[in-house]
Every structure is written in C-alpha cells, then in structure tokens.
Structure 1
C-alpha cells in the first residue's frame, strides 16, 4: 500500500489510523506489517465495506477531508476494504542505512548479495555508481542510461534499499551512509 506524503505525516503523528483501498483481493492481512516512510505499520484489521456505510469519522481517520476526497483517491474498480493499523515502530532499514562502519565480513556479505542480484544481468555496480555520482539521481535517468524500463529499474533500486544501501528522496535516490561505505570499499578493492 502506498500513501501520499500528507497521509504519511498524519500516520507519523498518530492521527491517521485507517486506509481505504479498492482491491480484487486484499493486499495486506491482519497481523501483518507494512513498511512506510512513517515507520512500520501493524495491520490490525482488513474488512470489506460498502462505501455508503463508511462514517465521516472513518473518512477523517483515513486522512481525508470529505467523502468526495476519499472517492477521488480510490481506484475505480474492485471491492472496497477498510484497513485499520497502528505504527509499530521505526523501519529497521533506517538503522541499517546509518551503519557506515563495515567490517571485512559485512563487506564480503554485501558483495555476495550484490553478485546474487547480478546473476541474470549485471546492474548493481552501474546503479550504485550512478547514484554515488549525484544525490537525487532519478529512476528515469538511470533506466535510460541502462536501456531499461523505469518500473524494472525502480524494483531493482528497492532491492538495494532492502540491503540498506540507498535512500529515497522526494525526487530520486541517494546512497545511504552504509551505501557510501560499501562503494568506497569496492573502489579501494576491499
């Protein structure tokens, strides 16, 4: 589930505790978690609802000013689901990204993981280098330089983000402190 920046701010403040989505089948389950820029969300409930039965209080709890505002943000097709959640804590990738003290074992592990990602086609080195050249490098720029489709490149960058190597900006990406440390170690031949 993706959230707009305004809604993420409300989640972080504890004001937004619901979401409404139209799906052919639910994309989240009660008891599951979801990582967002506002932290890890614990999914408390997922229930199919009728739009007419959605209360004004629920609309506000989802970060919308009105029913019309809610409807504008929904996909046109699929069943309507009401998702209840609460912030369960910080995204563990935040601490991982900040760890820029990499020992030989961590560097070897990360290099091995990058090699695994490169099995079908080598891309990790080129993407990390492009992001290292300039903060804010966009997926569109990198995809064009690599001759890839933008959605495919974005999926690849998310894999680097899972390793704590990159961070998303409002527009584009940058290397995290951990990513800078790894790129520095690779350039030094470590």
Structure 2
C-alpha cells in the first residue's frame, strides 16, 4: 500500500485510522505490518464494503474531505471491489535504530560481512552485495531504475536486492532512490579495508 507523506504523518499522529482501496484482490490482510518512512503501520480489519455504506466520517478518518472525494480517488474498473482497511500506528521501524547503530566491534563487522557473503553465495549470479552498497554510496537519491541499469539489472529485482540490504540496516529509502546508512558506511569501509589488507581473512 502506498501513502502520501501527509497521510503517513497523520497516521503516525493518530489522526487517521482507515484507508480505502479498490482492488481486484486484497493486497494486505489483518495483522500485516507495513513498514513506512514514519514507522510501522499495523493492518486491522480488511473488509469489502459497498460504496453506498461509506460515510463522510469514514472519509475523514481516511484523510479525505468527504465521501465524494474518497470515491473519486479510487481506481476505476468493474473487476475491482472497494476495501475498507483499518490501520494503527505501531511505533518506530526497528530498522531505523539499526541503521544508526555504529557501535560495532571488528568481530561484529566480520559477522555482518559474513552474512553478506551468504547472500552472495545464494544469489546464483555471484557477488553483488558490495557492488550495490558502493553503487548507492556513490549515487544517493538516484532513481532505482537508473541504478539498476548501471549494473545491468531489471528494476524490480534490483529493488528486491536493495531491500535485503535495508533489512540489515545498511541502506535506507529516500523519496527518490536510496542512500547508505551510517551502519552501511561503516560496513563498506570495513569491506574496503579488508580488500586491501592481505592479513585480513576477507582479503584475497
């Protein structure tokens, strides 16, 4: 589910607690945790509703001026149904704290690097994690499609790879593109040092 920044801010403040979407099939289910730029949103009840049952109060709880605006903003299509989605702000995204955590020992860094090595090994196409970290570090706030093209990757697969790095607190998403996190910078510096230090176990 996509939200505007204003809606996210209002959801985090508790001013909104509903969303409406016209879908062919539900894109979320009860209990889903949606990680957003302002924190985690927890999905409550997801139900199909008739347009006639939507009230102005419902619309305001979803961030619209009234039901007419809400309905006008929905995707058209006879094969779609209107879903009413309950939402609750569940707190900060744990990855936010992880991104800022640079209190890492050499052993911690080696463990993170080993985890990246396992991602590389499972990919079936060889090492990619360090390449993507370096690419993002050199090109903050560049569109994902443009970054993907630079490394010969399809955009959606490239974004899936970046999400794996994001889960480890190494990158973060911006309005456009990405940037490397403080933790990611530390890991990248460690990788660079390892590559130039013959005595380091990762070198060679």
Q: TM-score by structure 1 length?
A: 0.90
Q: Secondary structure at the match of 1:34?
A: strand
- Whose Rg is larger? 2
**Is the 2:57–2:66 Cα contact (8 Å) retained in structure 1?**
no
Paired residues, number = 190
Structure 1 position 43, deviation (Å): 2.0
Distance 2:50 2:17 in 1: 19
Aligned partner of residue 134 in structure 2, secondary structure: helix
Greater shift, 179-188 or 139-148, is seen at 139-148
Say if 2:116 is the partner of 1:114. Answer: yes
Counterpart position of 1:96: 98
Residues 103-148 of structure 1, C-alpha deviation per residue, up to 9 Å, x if partnerless?
A: 2333233223322332222322211101112422331221111112
Equivalences for residues 97-176 of structure 1 within 5 A: 97-118=99-120, 119-121=123-125, 122-176=127-181
* Inter-partner Cα distance in structure 1 for 2:124 and 2:68: 46
Q: Does 1:45 align with 2:45?
A: yes
| Structure 2 Cα separation of the partners of residues 21 and 162 of structure 1 | 27
RMSD: 1.9
Alpha-carbon offset, residue 68 of structure 1: 4.3
Task: Give the CA deviation at 1:5.
Answer: 1.6
CA distance in 2, matches of 1:168, 1:51: 35
CA distance 1:72–1:161, shift in 2 (3 Å): farther
1:85 is matched with which residue? 87
Residue 9 to residue 125, structure 1, CA distance change in 2 (3 Å) = same
State the alpha-carbon separation in 1 of the partners of residues 169 and 180 from structure 2.
Answer: 9
> Which secondary structure state, in structure 2, belongs to the residue aligned with residue 188 of structure 1?
helix
For structure 1, list consecutive stretches of 5 or more residues without a partner in the other structure: none
TM-score relative to the length of structure 2: 0.84
CA contact (8 A) 1:97 1:166 kept: yes
